[in-house]
C-alpha cells in the first residue's frame, strides 16, 4: 500500500515510517503542511496520514483543499489533542478517521488497512457473505449454512461490522467506536466478552471457525486466517 | 486548573438557570406581576382612603357645626327674650321670623303649655322627641312653588317659662346633599385610584419582569456554556443596568480565563502526547530490534508503562476538559445512553447481577461521550468492588432533575472517606489490589460539574449508591 505521511515531528514520523515499512507498506514522508499538500494533490496514494497541527499549512486545511478538488483518497488524521471534540472537527472537514497520539502502531495499521480497503462506491452492500455465513442488513437476517442464527440488535451490528471488514484486523477501539460510538477506554475486557458471545452464536458447532483473535491487535472474521 | 471565578460563575449561572427553568414551568412571572400590581393598587387605595376619609370627615363636621351654630346663636337668649318681651310680643316675633323670606331655611314652631299651636311655619312639635341636649332631626314637606319637597331639618327644642315650647330649626337638606355628592365622588376617586394603581403596578411589574426574564434567558445560555453571551442592558442607565454591566465585566473575565485555560490545556496535552508518542515509537522500535529475551522483556515493560502513563494522562485531560467547561453540550437521550451502557456491561457482570429501571425519554443537555464515560466508570466500579451482589441502575425524573444512580451490594465507602473518593489519584483501602488509576470517580465528579449536576455517594446498606442529579433538558 502506498502511504503519504505528513508529520512535522521528524522523529515520530521516522518511527512510524519504519514501522509501516516493516508491515510492507511504501511510505512517503512530508514534514510541513505546504510540501505535504502539494505532494498529496499530485495524487497516487492509497492512504494519507496527516497530523492535525502542521507548520505552514494546517492539517484540516489540507483535508479541505483535497476534498475541494474532488480527491477521494482516504485520510487518517493524527492528533495530539483530546480526540473527543477534535475528532468531530476532523471528520467534518472531510477526514475519514481520527487517531489520538500516542497511538499503537497496530491500531494505526489496522485503521489505514480498513480505510484503504473501504469500497469507494457510495451505496453499501446489504447482503454480506463470508464462507457459509450470510447476513442481510435489510431484513436483519443471519444464516450459517442456511440455518437461521438469532442475534440481538447489538450482536447483529457487531457481526455486520466484522463482515464488512472481512479479512482485515479490527481493533477493540475500532469496534467500540463503530458499534457503540464510545470514544473512551472502558478499562475492562468487555469487547472480548461480546466477541466471545458472538463467536458462540456463529461458530459453535461448525468445523470452520470464522471469528479469530489476533494477539495484540484485535479480531478478524475470515475463513482464510 | 479550576479557578474561583469559575466556581462562582457556575454557581451563579446554575442558580439563574434554575430560576429560568422555574419560570418556564410555573406562571411565576405572571403571578409576580399580578402581585406587584395588586399590592400597588392596594397601597394606593389605602393611602387615598385615609386622605379622602379625613377630608370627608372634616368637611361634614364643619358643615354640621355651621348649621348647629346658627341655631345655637338664635336660641342662646331666647329664654331671656321671652321673659323680657312678654308672650304677645314674643309670639309676634316668632310669626315674623317664620314668615320672613330673608331667613332662608329657618324653621320655627311655638306651642302653648297645653300644646296649642301659637306660631310657626311647621307643625311637628307634638310628635318630636329631642335628645338630651335638646336636638332633633326630622323631615318636613316644604312648599316650593307648586311642588312640595321633603327637606331634612335639624333643630333645637326649648322649653320656656310656664311650659311654653319653642322649636328653632335649620334646613340641612343641602348639607346632606352635599355630603352625599361628596361621598359619591370619594368612592369614585377611590375606584379610579385602585384601577389606575393596579394598571400602573401591572405595567411596572411587567417591565421589571421583562428585564428579569431577558437576564435569566441570557444567564441560561451562559450557564449552558455559551460564555460569549452577555446579559442585555436596557440603556436606561438605572441600577439594574449598572449591576448587569458589572456582571458582564465579570463574564468577560471568566471568558478570557476559560479561553486561556483551554489554550493551556490544549498546548499541554499536545506537548505531552507528542513526547509520549515519540517515546512509544522509540520503545517499539527497540522492541523490534531486541534479540535477547531480557531486552524483549524490558522493552515490553517500558511500553506497558508508557501506555499506563498515557491512560493516566488521558484521564487527567478528560477531567480537565470537563472542568474547563468548554466541552460543547448537546441534547442527550440519557435514557438511551443508560440502557445502552447497561447492555454493554451486562456480559462482564455475573449472570443476573445487573438490573435496571430506566424511565424513557429523559433528555439532558450534555456531552454524550463524557456522560457515557462517567456512567461507565460507575458501572465498572460497581462490578469491580461490588462482588457478585446485585447491581441496580436506576434512572428516574424527579421534578426538574434526572436522577441516575448505580447501586451495588459491595463493601461501600465509609462515610468519612466518601469526600476523598472523588479526589484525583485517591484509591481507598482495599482497592490497591485491583486495577485502576484512581481517576474514575474524579472524572465522574468533574463530568457532574460540567452538567451542573451533583454527585452523591450514599450508603446503600450494604454497598454503595452513587447518584447523579442532572437538570433535565426541557
Alpha-carbon distance of B266 to A53, in angstroms, equals 12
A2-116 has which fold? Rossmann fold (3.40.50)
- Confidence check: pLDDT of B464 > 50: yes
What is the residue-wise DSSP string for B413-474?
--GGGHHHHTSTT---TT-TTS---S-HHHHHHHHHHHTT-EEEEEE-SSSEEEEEEEEBP-
Q: Looking at the DSSP assignment, which residues form a beta bridge with residue B21? A: none
Alpha-carbon distance of B365 to B13, in angstroms, equals 15
CB B162 within 8 A of CB B111: no
Cα A71 to Cα A3, A29, A43, A68, B452: the distances in Å are 15, 19, 8, 7, 44
pLDDT attached to residue B394: 93
pLDDT attached to residue B102: 66
Peptide bond into B462 cis (omega under 30): yes
pLDDT attached to residue B3: 46
pLDDT attached to residue B22: 44
Domain A127-221 sits in CATH at 1.10.10.10
DSSP state for residue B110 in the 8-state scheme: E
Backbone angles phi, psi at B351, to 5 degrees: -60, 125
DSSP state for residue A125 in the 8-state scheme: P
Q: pLDDT tens for residues B314-369?
A: 888 888 888 877 788 889 999 999 999 999 998 888 777 889 999 999 999 999 99
B270's torsion region: left (phi>0), alpha (psi -120 to 50) or beta? alpha
Does B380 contact A180 at a Cβ distance shorter than 8 Å?
Answer: no
Closest alpha carbon to B322 in B361, B377, B274, B363: B377
Q: pLDDT tens for residues B1-14?
A: 334 444 444 454 44
Q: Can you list the residues of chain A whose pLDDT is less than 70?
A: 82-83, 120-123, 225
Q: Taking residues B412-424, report their average pLDDT.
A: 71
Q: pLDDT tens for residues B114-169?
A: 888 888 888 877 777 888 888 888 888 766 666 777 888 888 888 888 888 888 88
pLDDT attached to residue B145: 63
Chain A nearest-CA distance from B286, in A, is 10
Put simply, the chain B residues between 251 and 270 with a CB less than 8 A from any chain A CB are 266, 269-270
Nearest to A12 among B277, B380, B383 (CB): B277
pLDDT attached to residue B163: 84
Domain B327-471 sits in CATH at 3.30.565.10
CB A12 within 8 A of CB B270: no
A57/B404: higher pLDDT? B404
Q: Is A80 on the interface with B (CB under 8 A)?
A: yes
pLDDT attached to residue B225: 66
Average per-residue pLDDT in chain B?
A: 81
Peptide bond into A102 cis (omega under 30): yes
- Confidence check: pLDDT of B23 > 60: no
Q: Taking residues B41-60, report their average pLDDT.
A: 85
A209: three-class secondary structure by DSSP? coil
Q: Is A212 on the interface with B (CB under 8 A)?
A: no
Q: Which residues of A touch B435 (CB under 8 A)?
A: 187
pLDDT attached to residue B16: 46
Alpha-carbon distance of B270 to B319, in angstroms, equals 16
Q: Is A9 on the interface with B (CB under 8 A)?
A: yes
Q: pLDDT tens for residues B271-288?
A: 888 899 999 989 988 888
Q: Looking at the DSSP assignment, which residues form a beta bridge with residue B330? A: B366
The pTM of this model reads: 0.66
Amino acid at each position: 500500500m502506498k502511504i503519504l505521511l505528513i508529520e512535522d515531528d521528524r522523529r515520530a514520523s521516522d518511527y512510524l515510517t519504519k514501522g509501516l515499512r516493516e508491515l510492507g507498506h511504501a511510505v512517503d514522508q512530508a514534514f510541513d503542511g505546504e510540501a505535504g499538500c502539494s505532494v498529496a494533490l499530485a495524487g497516487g496514494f492509497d492512504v494519507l496520514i496527516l497530523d492535525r497541527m502542521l507548520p505552514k499549512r494546517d492539517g484540516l486545511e489540507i483535508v479541505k483543499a483535497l476534498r475541494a478538488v474532488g480527491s477521494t483518497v482516504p485520510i487518517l488524521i493524527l492528533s495530539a489533542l483530546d480526540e473527543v471534540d477534535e475528532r468531530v472537527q476532523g471528520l467534518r472537514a472531510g477526514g475519514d478517521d481520527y487517531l489520538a497520539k500516542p497511538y499503537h502502531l497496530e491500531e494505526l495499521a489496522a485503521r489505514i488497512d480498513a480505510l484503504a480497503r473501504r469500497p469507494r462506491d457510495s451505496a453499501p452492500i446489504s447482503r454480506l457473505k463470508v464462507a457459509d455465513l450470510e447476513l442481510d442488513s435489510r431484513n436483519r437476517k443471519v444464516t450459517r449454512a442456511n440455518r437461521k442464527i438469532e442475534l440481538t440488535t447489538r450482536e447483529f451490528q457487531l457481526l455486520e461490522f466484522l463482515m464488512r471488514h472481512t479479512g482485515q484486523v479490527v481493533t477493540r477501539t475500532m469496534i467500540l467506536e463503530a458499534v457503540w460510538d464510545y470514544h473512551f477506554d472502558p478499562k475492562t475486557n468487555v469487547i472480548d466478552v461480546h466477541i466471545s458471545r458472538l463467536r458462540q452464536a456463529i461458530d459453535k458447532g461448525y468445523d470452520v471457525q470464522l471469528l479469530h483473535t489476533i494477539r495484540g491487535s484485535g479480531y478478524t472474521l475470515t475463513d482464510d486466517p | 486548573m479550576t479557578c474561583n471565578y469559575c466556581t462562582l460563575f457556575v454557581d451563579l449561572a446554575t442558580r439563574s438557570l434554575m430560576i429560568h427553568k422555574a419560570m418556564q414551568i410555573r406562571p411565576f412571572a405572571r403571578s409576580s406581576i399580578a402581585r406587584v400590581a395588586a399590592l400597588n393598587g392596594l397601597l394606593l387605595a389605602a393611602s387615598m382612603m385615609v386622605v379622602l376619609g379625613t377630608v370627608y370627615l372634616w368637611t361634614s363636621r364643619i358643615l354640621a357645626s355651621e348649621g348647629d351654630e346658627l341655631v345655637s346663636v338664635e336660641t342662646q337668649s331666647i329664654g331671656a327674650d321671652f321673659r323680657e318681651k312678654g308672650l304677645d310680643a314674643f309670639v309676634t316675633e316668632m310669626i315674623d321670623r317664620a314668615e320672613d323670606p330673608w331667613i332662608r331655611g329657618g324653621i320655627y314652631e311655638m306651642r302653648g303649655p297645653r300644646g296649642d299651636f301659637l306660631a310657626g311655619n311647621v307643625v311637628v312639635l307634638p310628635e318630636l322627641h329631642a335628645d338630651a341636649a335638646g336636638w332633633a332631626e326630622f323631615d318636613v314637606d316644604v312648599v316650593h312653588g307648586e311642588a312640595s319637597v321633603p327637606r331634612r331639618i335639624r333643630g333645637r327644642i326649648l322649653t320656656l317659662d310656664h311650659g311654653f315650647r319653642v322649636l328653632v330649626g335649620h334646613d340641612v337638606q343641602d348639607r346632606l346633599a352635599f355630603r352625599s355628592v361628596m361621598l359619591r365622588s370619594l368612592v369614585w376617586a377611590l375606584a379610579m385610584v385602585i384601577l389606575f394603581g393596579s394598571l400602573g403596578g401591572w405595567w411596572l411589574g411587567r417591565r421589571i419582569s421583562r428585564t428579569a426574564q431577558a437576564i435569566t434567558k441570557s444567564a441560561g445560555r451562559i450557564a449552558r456554556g455559551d460564555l460569549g453571551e452577555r446579559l442585555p442592558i436596557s440603556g436606561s442607565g438605572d441600577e439594574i443596568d449598572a449591576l448587569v454591566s458589572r456582571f458582564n465585566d465579570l463574564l468577560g473575565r471568566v471568558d478570557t480565563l476559560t479561553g486561556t485555560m483551554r489554550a493551556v490545556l490544549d498546548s499541554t496535552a499536545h506537548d505531552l502526547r507528542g513526547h509520549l508518542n515519540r517515546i512509544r515509537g522509540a520503545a517499539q522500535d527497540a522492541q523490534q530490534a531486541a534479540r535477547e529475551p531480557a531486552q524483549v522483556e524490558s522493552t515490553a515493560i517500558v511500553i506497558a508503562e508508557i501506555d499506563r502513563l498515557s491512560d493516566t494522562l488521558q484521564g487527567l485531560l478528560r477531567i480537565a476538559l470537563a472542568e474547563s467547561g468548554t466541552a460543547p453540550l448537546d441534547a442527550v437521550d440519557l435514557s438511551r445512553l443508560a440502557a445502552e451502557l447497561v447492555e454493554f456491561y451486562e456480559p462482564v457482570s455475573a449472570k443476573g447481577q445487573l438490573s435496571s429501571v430506566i424511565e424513557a425519554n429523559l433528555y439532558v443537555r450534555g456531552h454524550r461521550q463524557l456522560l457515557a464515560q462517567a456512567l461507565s466508570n460507575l458501572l465498572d466500579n460497581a462490578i469491580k468492588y461490588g462482588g457478585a451482589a446485585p447491581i441496580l441502575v436506576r434512572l428516574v425524573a424527579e421534578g426538574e432533575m434526572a436522577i441516575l444512580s448505580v447501586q451495588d451490594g459491595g463493601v461501600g465507602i465509609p462515610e468519612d472517606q466518601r469526600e476523598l473518593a472523588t479526589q484525583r489519584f485517591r484509591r481507598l483501602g482495599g482497592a490497591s489490589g485491583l486495577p485502576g488509576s484512581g481517576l474514575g470517580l474524579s472524572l465522574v465528579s468533574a463530568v457532574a460539574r460540567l452538567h451542573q449536576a451533583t454527585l452523591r455517594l450514599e450508603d446503600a446498606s450494604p454497598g454503595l449508591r452513587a447518584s447523579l442529579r442532572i437538570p433535565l433538558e426541557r
